[in-house]
């Protein structure tokens, strides 16, 4: 009888350890396979994988059949330059996109010359989307800054809207830089309460002479920089398996 009880305890322990081994194997295998088999984001093709400092014309990535630009672990796509006047104040061929990276993350710089003087004003809308390529990362904050100059009554501003469900849908944050101001604002940051896998950014870019003299009242924008920060999040599948593993450990401990 004692031998039977002893064998029963040994078998119980073996079953417990076996369950733990299986749980660990599932955690490892599932986590690894989920990363290895992760599909391309939205099936978007990448026209250029820009190295830091590399450039490409905006005209190369706009239009109904345009591809995307990858910078580091970010995919930029759905580019559009929308004029608000006729003829347009700025053409896609007038804009050079430059890849960049800084302490905030990877991003793009938009280089162009947009100037208004006297009683004239110029206004354009620039749109694009940003996707994190790493499935274990989510966008946590967005950084905007610009290089501008003004004289007399002139002013320059960039107003930015960030959406979660396409342009104009699911607004989650706004940013604005302006010169002059009280004081002038050359950079702004938006922090998300809920990190996002993909966002859509829309910029309203405006320069206005706001006066009568074309020599003393003018405004100019030459660079707009956009960088994206992210945070690591656990995969839902890994979290679920971790809970299963913990529950199994507690069950085995209780049986012992």
Indicate whether 228 and 243 sit together in one domain: no
Please tell me the predicted confidence (pLDDT) of residue 13. Answer: 54
Indicate whether 103 and 198 sit together in one domain: yes
Indicate whether 114 and 195 sit together in one domain: yes
Residue 132 burial (10 A CB sphere; 0-12, 13-18, 19+): buried
Our count of domains for the chain comes to 2
Per-residue pLDDT of the chain (256 residues; tens, 9 = 90+): 554 454 455 455 545 544 444 444 444 443 333 333 333 444 445 468 999 999 999 999 998 778 899 999 999 999 999 999 999 999 999 999 999 999 999 999 999 999 999 999 999 999 999 999 999 999 999 999 999 999 999 999 999 999 999 999 999 999 999 999 889 999 999 999 999 999 999 999 999 999 999 999 999 999 999 999 999 886 555 555 554 555 555 555 555 5
For residue 26, give its domain range: 2-38+236-255
Please tell me the predicted confidence (pLDDT) of residue 5. Answer: 54
Query: Which residue carries 């299986």 as its tokens?
Result: 22
* pTM (two decimals): 0.76
Pure H helices in 74-215:
none
Query: Which residue carries 């890849």 as its tokens?
Result: 99
Joined together, the tokens standing for residue 6 give 């002893």
Domain of 164, CATH number, reads 2.60.120
109 within 8 A of 223, measured Cβ to Cβ:
yes
Please tell me the predicted confidence (pLDDT) of residue 188. Answer: 98
Joined together, the tokens standing for residue 194 give 């809920």
Please tell me the predicted confidence (pLDDT) of residue 182. Answer: 84
Indicate whether 90 and 17 sit together in one domain: no
101 within 8 A of 107, measured Cβ to Cβ:
yes
Find, among 27, 4, 13, the residue nearest to 253 by Cα.
13
Q: Are strands 198-208 and 155-163 parallel, antiparallel or unpaired?
A: antiparallel
Please tell me the predicted confidence (pLDDT) of residue 14. Answer: 42
Indicate whether 201 and 247 sit together in one domain: no
């Amino acid at each position: 009888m004692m031998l039977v009880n002893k064998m029963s305890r040994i078998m119980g322990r073996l079953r417990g350890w076996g369950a733990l081994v299986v749980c660990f194997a599932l955690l490892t295998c599932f986590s690894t396979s989920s990363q290895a088999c992760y599909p391309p984001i939205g099936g978007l093709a990448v026209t250029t994988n820009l190295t830091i400092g590399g450039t490409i014309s905006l005209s190369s990535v706009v239009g109904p059949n345009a591809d995307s630009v990858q910078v580091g672990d970010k995919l930029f796509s759905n580019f559009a330059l929308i004029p608000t006047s006729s003829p347009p104040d700025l053409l896609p061929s007038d804009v050079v996109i430059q890849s960049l990276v800084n302490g905030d993350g990877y991003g793009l710089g938009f280089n162009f010359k947009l100037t208004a003087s006297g009683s004239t004003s110029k206004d354009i809308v620039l749109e694009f989307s940003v996707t994190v390529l790493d499935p274990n990362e989510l966008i946590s904050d967005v950084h905007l800054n610009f290089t501008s100059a003004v004289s007399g009554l002139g002013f320059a501003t960039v107003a930015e809207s960030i959406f979660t469900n396409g342009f104009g849908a699911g607004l989650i944050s706004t940013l604005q830089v302006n010169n002059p101001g009280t004081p002038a604002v050359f950079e702004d940051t938006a922090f998300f309460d809920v990190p996002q896998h993909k966002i859509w950014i829309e910029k309203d870019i405006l320069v206005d002479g706001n006066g009568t003299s074309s020599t003393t009242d003018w405004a100019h924008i030459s660079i707009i920089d956009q960088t994206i920060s992210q945070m690591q999040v656990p995969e839902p599948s890994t979290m679920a398996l971790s809970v299963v593993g913990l529950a199994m450990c507690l069950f085995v401990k209780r049986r012992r």
